[in-house]
Amino acid sequence: MSIKYSAARKKWIGASVVFLILISLLVITFVTNCDTEPELIVAPHDREVIANQEPAEPNDIKQSVFTERLEDRKEMVTRQIAARDVNDMSVLAAMRKVPRHAFIPAGRRRYAYVDSALPIEHGQTISQPYIVAFMTEALQLDPNSKVLEIGTGSGYQAAVCAEIAREVYTIEIVEELAAGAAKLLKELGYDNVFVKAGDGFFGWPEHAPFDAVIGTAAAGRVPKPLLEQLKPGGRMILPVEGRFGFQHLILITKDEKGNLQERNVMPVRFVPMTGEVQKPEKKNED
């Protein structure tokens, strides 16, 4: 019995020694590898994941925000706009494309595609989607149109017009809003929109005449400089406040001889236009 026990013990000791040698070799290998920088091998599909983790450039922001909430925009156009007889295909396409939620403060973005105007910064609003579409259609824009907008606000209306027109010049009297809209429009790739902080009453004479003029704040009268800067054959739409505070959208057309025609097209409610228009009308301002 003692001989068998001794043999078994020798085998156990031998196995233990082999095991310890193997462990020592593994430890040495691990330590050696940790002392040098490992080579990184990345498969092609992993490269895309790594790129997506890098800080977004403006083009990345544009691509991501335009692909968000597509179904919400489609439903908005179908139920709120096309169902109310806005039929211009270029306008419907622009309303489907422009990401309205990007122009709304973060805390209210869940309401971006409801059938309503929404508050933005500095006591201003972003207009109801239907009103944006209706006013854009009324201008009868084409790819060669040059547009003047009075009241940039968030920049949403300018973006919609920019999807159709060649150039959009937009003026905002609140400097902070103008700066914010300019930054956002640039990030979204609207390099055909030009933003200026200033009083829209005087228009933008350096770039006149305009094929179309659109106003997004209600004035007590139509500013004469805007009429002068409207090109013969052009169209203007803006809200005007009449007696007892009631507002109407006014559509003005100028024929090739410079004659103006005006008609009320819809009762509305816009924020008031501020600046020069609030001063008493001068006697020489017909």
Give the helix/strand (H/E) hosting 262.
strand 260-268
Helix 129-138 and helix 89-97: axis angle, to 10°? 140
Q: Which residues pair with 108 in a beta bridge?
A: none
- Tell me the C-alpha distance between 77 and 75, whole Å: 5
Among 153, 285, 167, 282, residue whose Cα is nearest residue 226: 285
User: If you ran DSSP here, which 8-state letter would residue 188 be given?
Assistant: T
Peptide bond just before 44 cis, omega within 30 deg: no
State how far the alpha carbon of 46 is from the alpha carbons of 32, 51, 54, in Å.
28, 9, 13
Among the listed residues 24, 64, 127, 145, the single catalytic one is 127
Q: Is 6 a known active-site residue? A: no
- Tell me the C-alpha distance between 196 and 138, whole Å: 24
Among 245, 239, 237, 243, residue whose Cα is nearest residue 268: 239
Q: Is the Cβ–Cβ distance between 163 and 183 less than 8 Å?
A: no
Cα angle for residues 27, 30, 31 (degrees, 5° grid): 85
Give the helix/strand (H/E) hosting 168.
strand 167-172
- Tell me the C-alpha distance between 240 and 4, whole Å: 112
Amino acid at 108: R
Which residues does the annotation mark as catalytic?
Answer: 127
